[in-house]
């Protein structure tokens, strides 16, 4: 398969701040690619250079192997991290307004169906809930039937149910064969939606691959987690992370015996398979929420 999007040695300086530091990526057509990382990692800066909105300090972004040209905006759809919607008009009017901006657009009934907007078409933009607003913004990103859809933290601030609903909309878009480029700091979201991810930290890409592969390469066994406050000493092999201690265990029985033997309270103990959040901690030494 060919790369639909690629970036080569891309950097961006804002004055003295080096927001993106010499990163390169190739993204295959038809996949959902996740750009992950904590606040300030450089996700928005990177995606906006790929969208042709922000000029790189050095390096370049390519679409189908060529520098971004004048018709690029017809072929991509963008959902910005923060977008102002026009007040005093309805969802239906907003869709019409955006549709009219493009020379090609897809059937509006289809867009309404994909983004589940049927029940709120007559609602004023100001009255939308967070989840409804994100669904409308997604609709606006696909009105022109784009080949690539850029979504910058589309589910931040949504409750867990609304987030799950939004994931199913993204799945629909993926099924249509569109390439989706998504940024998020929810690692669970990336594990569920993304075929490939690049984990960013402080302007660098610290890991890049299929989520399952990254986890298999970096972890064996399971992670045992205990609230830190209840224990005043760190058991052997444990590390403290925020308010917890974590133990990477290949043998749960042995780990639990060891904890009990050292009179450590097990209240609040959890055991989980390693996830991308654990990987981020392993690679950067800091937790995502730090
Ligand atoms: N216009 C700007 N001027 C100066 N500094 C900026 C500007 N935009 C971003 N930065 C800085 O660049 C760095 C990367 O910001 P960016 O918005 O790309 O991060 P992000 O990964 O999208 O974070 P978030 O998850 O909070 O959206 C941050 O340190 C930020 O403060
Ligand atoms: Mg951002």
- How far from the centroid of its chain's Cα atoms is residue 255's Cα? 34
Check if 12 has its Cβ closer than 6 Å to any atom of ligand 1: no
Check if 37 has its Cβ closer than 6 Å to any atom of ligand 1: yes
From atom 16 of ligand 1, which residue's Cα is the shortest distance away?
A: 42
Residue that has been written with the tokens 């931040």 in this structure: 156
d(CA 32, CA 194): 5
What is the pLDDT averaged over residues 46-61?
96
From atom 12 of ligand 1, which residue's Cα is the shortest distance away?
A: 19
Predicted confidence (pLDDT) per residue in 112-148, tens digit: 999 999 999 999 999 999 889 999 999 999 999 999 9
Q: Phi/psi at 59 (nearest 5 deg)?
A: 85, -175
Mean pLDDT computed over every residue of the chain? 92
* pLDDT band at residue 53 using 50, 70 and 90 as cut-offs: very high
Which residue, among 2, 4, 28, 19, has the nearest Cα to 58 in the 3D structure?
A: 19
From atom 1 of ligand 1, which residue's Cα is the shortest distance away?
A: 14
* pLDDT band at residue 62 using 50, 70 and 90 as cut-offs: very high
Lowest mean pLDDT among 51-55, 135-139, 162-166: 162-166
Q: Give the per-residue pLDDT at 234.
A: 77
From atom 11 of ligand 1, which residue's Cα is the shortest distance away?
A: 19
Give the mutation target among 20, 40, 200 for probing the ligand 1 site: most ligand atoms within 8 A of CB. Answer: 40
Q: CB-hemisphere CA count at 13 Å for 147? A: 14
d(CA 166, CA 172): 10
What is the pLDDT averaged over residues 250-271?
91
Which residue, among 58, 94, 85, 64, has the nearest Cα to 76 in the 3D structure?
A: 64
Which residue, among 235, 250, 245, 241, has the nearest Cα to 268 in the 3D structure?
A: 245
* pLDDT band at residue 289 using 50, 70 and 90 as cut-offs: low
Do 117 and 97 form a contact (C-beta atoms < 8 A)? no
Check if 42 has its Cβ closer than 6 Å to any atom of ligand 1: yes
CA–centroid distance, residue 18 to ligand 1 (Å): 10
d(CA 216, CA 258): 26
Which residue, among 283, 96, 126, has the nearest Cα to 201 in the 3D structure?
A: 283
Do 283 and 201 form a contact (C-beta atoms < 8 A)? yes
The fold of 3-216 is: Rossmann fold (3.40.50)
Percentage of the chain surpassing pLDDT 70?
98
CA–centroid distance, residue 238 to ligand 2 (Å): 33
What is the pLDDT averaged over residues 217-230?
88
Do 87 and 126 form a contact (C-beta atoms < 8 A)? yes
CATH 3.40.50.300 range(s) for the chain read 3-216
Whether 47 shows a pLDDT value over 60: the answer reads yes
d(CA 168, CA 235): 42
d(CA 21, CA 58): 9
d(CA 59, CA 232): 50
- In three-state secondary structure terms, 30 is coil
β 148-152/244-249 pair status: unpaired
């Amino acid at each position: 398969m060919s790369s639909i999007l690629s970036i080569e040695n891309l950097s961006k300086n804002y004055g003295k701040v080096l927001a993106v530091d010499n990163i390169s990526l190739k993204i295959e057509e038809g996949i959902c690619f996740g750009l992950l990382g904590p606040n300030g990692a450089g996700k928005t800066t990177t995606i906006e250079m790929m969208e042709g909105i922000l000029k790189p300090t050095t390096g370049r972004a390519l679409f189908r192997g060529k520098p971004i040209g004048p018709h690029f905006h017809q072929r991509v759809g963008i959902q910005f991290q923060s977008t102002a919607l026009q007040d005093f008009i309805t969802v239906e009017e907003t869709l019409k307004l955006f549709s009219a901006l493009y020379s090609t657009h897809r059937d509006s009934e289809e867009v309404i169906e994909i983004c589940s907007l049927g029940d709120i078409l007559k609602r004023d933009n100001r009255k939308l809930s967070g989840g409804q607003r994100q669904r409308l913004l997604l609709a606006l990103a696909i009105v022109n039937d784009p080949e690539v859809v850029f979504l910058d933290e589309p589910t931040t601030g949504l409750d867990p149910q609304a987030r799950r609903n939004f994931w199913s909309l993204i799945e629909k878009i993926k099924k249509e064969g569109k390439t989706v480029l998504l940024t998020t700091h929810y690692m669970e979201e990336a594990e569920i939606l993304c075929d490939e991810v690049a984990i960013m930290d402080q302007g660098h890409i610290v890991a890049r691959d299929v989520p399952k592969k990254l986890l298999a390469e970096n972890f064996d066994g399971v992670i045992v987690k205990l609230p830190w406050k209840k224990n005043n000493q760190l058991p052997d092999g444990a590390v403290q992370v925020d308010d917890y201690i974590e133990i990477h265990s290949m043998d749960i029985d042995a780990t639990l015996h060891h904890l009990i033997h050292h009179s450590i309270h097990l209240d609040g103990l959890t055991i989980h398979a390693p996830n991308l959040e654990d990987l981020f901690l392993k690679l950067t030494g800091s937790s995502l929420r730090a």
